[in-house]
Each structure stands twice: as C-alpha cells, then as structure tokens.
C-alpha cells in the first residue's frame, strides 16, 4: 500500500484560488480541478529540508497523515483525500472541500439547541471516530477546530486534520506529548501509551462544552489544566448544568474516566441512551433538555478572542526576530569578537532560541 504522489506539476492540473485556512505547517487553498471543474481544498504541507531545522515537517510525518487518509477513504463523516502531489517544497493534499466552517461556530449563531440536536451532532462525530477506530487509527487531535460542517445549511459533519493521527497496534507502543491541553487525556500528560480510548476522552470534553458552554479542565495556565486533567478534577457545576439531562451527564461521566480500559469505547457510546434512547421517556428527557446557549456563546467568543491574540503574538514575534537578525548581523559585521547585546534583548533571544 505505497503512497502514490502524482509527479505532474500540481498547477498544470488545478487552478488555485484563495487561502481558506492555515495551521502550524500548512496552508489550505481552494482549488479547481481543470479536467472536471470540481472544487477541492489543497493543503500545502511544508517539507523539512534540513533535519535539524524546525521549519516544516519531516517527510515520514507527512507520509503518516497521507497513509491514514488513504486508509480511511470514503466515510461520510471523514474528510476524503482525492490526490497527493509533491512539488519539492511541499506535499500537497487535495482534499474534499468543506464549506460550512466549524460546528461550534455554527452552533453559536443559533438561539437554542436542544440536547436532542446536540446528540445528533455527537452521533455523526462518533460514526466517524468509530470508522477510524475499527481501522486501528486514533485521531489524537479531536477538538472543535477539527469538527467542520460540509455546508452551512446541511448539518453534515466532517472530521479533519489527521496530522497527529497514528495507527495503533499491539506490537508497537506510541507515546507522545501532543495535542491541545484543554482536550488531552491523562495518559498523554503522564507520557503513557496512547490508544484509541485517547480520542474518547476528547469526545467527553467536547460534549461537556457543547451542553454547558464551560470547559471541564481548563485552568489559568497550561500546567494548571494538566493538573486538573490528571486528577480528573471536574464537576457538573449547577451554575452551568441546571438544564442538563442526567442522560447527558452519564454519557460524559463514562468518557472522562482515567483508566483507559474502563473508558467507554466508540462503539459502546453509539448505543448509549443519550445517543440512542431506549424508551419514550429517555427520548423525551433529551428533547426537553436545552444546552446552555448563553454560556456556550461566551465560550465561543473567548475562543475567537484567544485565536486572534495568538495570531497577533506570532506576527510580533516574527517581526521582532527579523529585526534581531538584522541587528546581530550588524554586530557581526562590525568585527566585534564578542557579541554584546543590550540587556533588554536577552529575553527575546532566549525565546527565539526556544522557538
Ligand atoms: P494544525 O496546525 O492546527 O494542526 P494543520 O496544519 O494540520 O493544522 P489543518 O487543521 O488540516 O492543518 O488545516 C488548517 C485549517 O484549514 C483548518 O483549521 C480549516 O479551517 C481549514 N481546512 C482544512 N482542511 C479543509 C478542507 N478540506 N476544507 C475546508 N477547509 C479546510
């Protein structure tokens, strides 16, 4: 099952249009296949040129994402891969185009969302995750940014970003520190083996946020968040959960479990009564319960705000590093054997060395 990279130049087969997203190592652009006039999303992943460099990703890491996408092809809730190119600098993944934006963004624009509707979204996420897991693939980066809607007016969910995904086998243990603190499971924080259940923890966190608008483990610092995660320190605060059904709480409780063997699996969660009610009563309980929309809207507003701060900080860092580079070049030019910098430049330098 070798990976086939098309050797023809990407631009000769596709017209490339505007940027529609970006990540740490990737830019995503809308494109149109000339032969069919079909639209796709082209994800340009920058290749690492020099082993010691921190720019771009090693080819074997990119190959892992491609391999996973090829293995998962054609599930209605997972982004599908159309073609792969290598232009020397980038590997270009031609992906199914998703136009509806983030599920959380879509929800925050609504006035109300019943638990019945919320659980229908969860149901689709679980179908996608179940498909991955039955192929021994763990996503390992499930979070609101990676749950998109195919289009604005159809409630069809697509899971994206398989950049951290791994094939999980008994033969080989995977340990890694990765993901976003708010959504990582205790085994990640503790540097214990990762497994399919690691995704189910994230589903628990996503559900908790969806019904209440608050985040179960989020602290004021990353360290505090990690401490809360490893202690499984969360509650159903009545301030946020007064309208939440017991079924929804039970669903969450079975996912936010420290012991990976006791955590509910994807398959089990598909038949949990919050997803698949077993009686008229349960169906009613779910229909009558409302998610906490006021609080959800402010959670979403905080997320948007944090995201823009991150972008501004990054821009500042980049312009500072460019300035510093030219300053140190001047210093070197002046043939001074010892580079002396003003004291106030040290913290920046240390931060550059660390980045
Ligand atoms: P990160 O650094 O967050 O892990 P990444 O570099 O792996 O990201 P993706 O998350 O796959 O990149 O894509 C970056 C952004 O591009 C996404 O957040 C999304 O907004 C957009 N995007 C990705 N794939 C698609 C797609 N198939 N259709 C539409 N938009 C997409």
19, 27, 43: residue to mutate for ligand 1 pocket, most atoms within 8 A of CB: 43
For atom 5 of ligand 1, the residue with the nearest CA is 23
Give nearest CA residue, ligand 1 atom 11.
Answer: 161
3-state SS class at 21: strand
Confidence of residue 174 (pLDDT cuts 50, 70, 90): confident
149 DSSP β-pair partners: 157
Number of Cβ within 10 Å of residue 168's Cβ equals 21
Q: Looking at this predicted complex, what is its ipTM?
A: 0.96
What's the pLDDT score for residue 342? 28
pLDDT at 7: 77
Q: What is the mean pLDDT of the chain?
A: 88
**pLDDT above 70: residue 270:** yes
Strands 90-96 and 81-86: antiparallel
If one compares 172 and 168, the residue with the highest pLDDT of the two is 168
Going from the Cα of 273 to the center of ligand 1, the distance in angstroms, rounded, reads: 33
C-alpha span between 330 and 63 (Å, rounded): 41
What pLDDT digit, counting tens, does each position of 288-317 carry?
999 999 999 999 999 988 877 766 665 666
> Could you read off the pLDDT of 55-86 as tens digits, one per residue?
999 999 999 999 999 999 889 999 999 999 99
Could you give the residue numbers annotated as active site?
Answer: 141
- 339-353 confidence digits (pLDDT tens): 232 223 333 323 333
Interacting residues of 132 by C-beta distance below 8 A, sequence separation 6+: 72, 78, 138, 139, 165, 199
Let me know: does 185 contact 196? Beta carbons within 8 Å.
no
**From ligand 1's centre to the CA of 22, what distance in Å?**
6
The pTM of this model reads 0.87
Going by pLDDT thresholds of 50, 70 and 90, the confidence category of residue 241 is very high
């Amino acid at each position: 099952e070798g990976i086939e990279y098309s050797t023809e130049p990407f631009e000769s087969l596709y017209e490339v249009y505007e940027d529609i997203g970006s990540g740490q190592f990737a830019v995503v652009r809308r494109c149109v296949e000339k032969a069919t006039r079909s639209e796709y999303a082209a994800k340009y992943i920058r290749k690492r040129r020099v082993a010691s460099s921190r720019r771009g990703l090693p080819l074997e890491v990119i190959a892992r994402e491609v391999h996973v996408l090829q293995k998962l092809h054609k599930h209605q809730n997972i982004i599908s891969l159309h073609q792969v190119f290598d232009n020397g600098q980038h590997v270009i993944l031609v992906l199914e185009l998703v136009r509806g934006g983030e599920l959380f963004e879509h929800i925050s624009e609504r006035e109300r969302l019943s638990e019945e509707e919320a659980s229908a979204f969860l149901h689709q996420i679980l179908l996608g995750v179940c498909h991955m897991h039955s192929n021994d693939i763990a996503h390992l980066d499930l979070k609101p940014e990676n749950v998109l809607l195919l289009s604005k007016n159809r409630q069809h969910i697509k899971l994206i970003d398989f950049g951290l995904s791994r094939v999980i086998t008994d033969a080989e243990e995977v340990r890694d520190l990765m993901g976003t603190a708010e959504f990582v499971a205790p085994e990640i924080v503790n540097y214990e083996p990762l497994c399919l259940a690691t995704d189910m923890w994230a589903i628990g966190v996503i559900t908790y946020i969806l019904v209440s608008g608050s985040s179960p483990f989020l602290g004021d610092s990353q360290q505090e968040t990690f401490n809360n995660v490893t202690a499984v320190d969360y509650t159903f605060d009545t301030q946020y959960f007064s309208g939440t059904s017991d079924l929804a709480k039970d669903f969450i409780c079975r996912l936010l479990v420290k012991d990976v063997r006791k955590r509910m699996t994807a398959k089990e969660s598909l038949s949990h009564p919050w997803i698949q009610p077993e009686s008229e009563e349960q169906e009613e309980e779910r229909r009558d319960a409302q998610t906490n929309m006021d609080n959800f809207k402010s959670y979403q507003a905080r997320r948007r705000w944090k995201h823009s701060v991150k972008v501004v900080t990054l821009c500042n860092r980049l312009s500072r590093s460019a300035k510093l580079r030219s300053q140190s070049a001047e210093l070197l030019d002046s043939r001074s054997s010892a580079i002396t910098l003003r004291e106030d430049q040290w913290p920046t330098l240390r931060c550059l060395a660390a980045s």
